Amino acid sequence: MINSTSGPGLLFPKGGWENDETVEQAAKREALEEAGVRGDLMDFLGYYHFKSKTHQDEFCPESRCKAAMFALHVKEELNSWPEQSTRQRRWLTITEAAEQCRHPWMRAALMDGFSKWLESIKSEEGHPCSGSTSS
């Protein structure tokens, strides 16, 4: 998670996407720009709606926006990144992250989307996260 530049609490990297990129490319770009991490998108966790205070335009009618959330398998942490002067990244457990989420919709995305995804990969037979062994 990253700190907010406009108030207390932590956020997931997010932002809009450009006309020449996919939502997946935008998610990876935002993770790099805001958190200084690179990796592989693992799974789409779902769409979450939120009210925007800053983006009141044709893309967010009545200030309602839609965020696409992805799980990212981080493979590289950069020592410097585009927004490092205004952003700090923090690694947290799911419980810690939920407690520190600035927005309820991000907490819902974390608890509903990511937790379900994590449980599904843990239950796969022989998956390293499952704690089981195969014979």
**Blockwise average pLDDT, block size 10, the chain, 135 residues:** 87 83 92 95 82 58 73 93 94 89 84 76 60 37
CA 26, CA 23: separation in Å to the nearest integer?
5
Query: Are 26 and 70 in contact, with CB atoms under 8 Å apart?
Result: no
Encoded tokens for 52: 């925007």
Residue 79 neighbours by CB distance under 10 Å: 6
Name the percent of the chain lying above pLDDT 70: 81
pTM, rounded to two decimals: 0.75
pLDDT digits (tens, 9 = 90+) for 44-75: 888 887 776 665 555 555 557 778 888 889 99
By CB atoms closer than 10 A (0-12, 13-18, 19+), residue 104 is exposed
Encoded tokens for 25: 């490319």
Q: Which fold has domain 2-102?
A: Nucleoside Triphosphate Pyrophosphohydrolase (3.90.79)
Q: What is the pLDDT of residue 57?
A: 54
Instruction: Give me the residues paired with residue 11 across strands.
Output: 2
| 3 state DSSP class of 17 | coil
Q: What is the pLDDT of residue 42?
A: 84
Q: What is the pLDDT of residue 43?
A: 80
| 3 state DSSP class of 25 | helix
Q: What is the pLDDT of residue 66?
A: 79
CA 84, CA 92: separation in Å to the nearest integer?
19
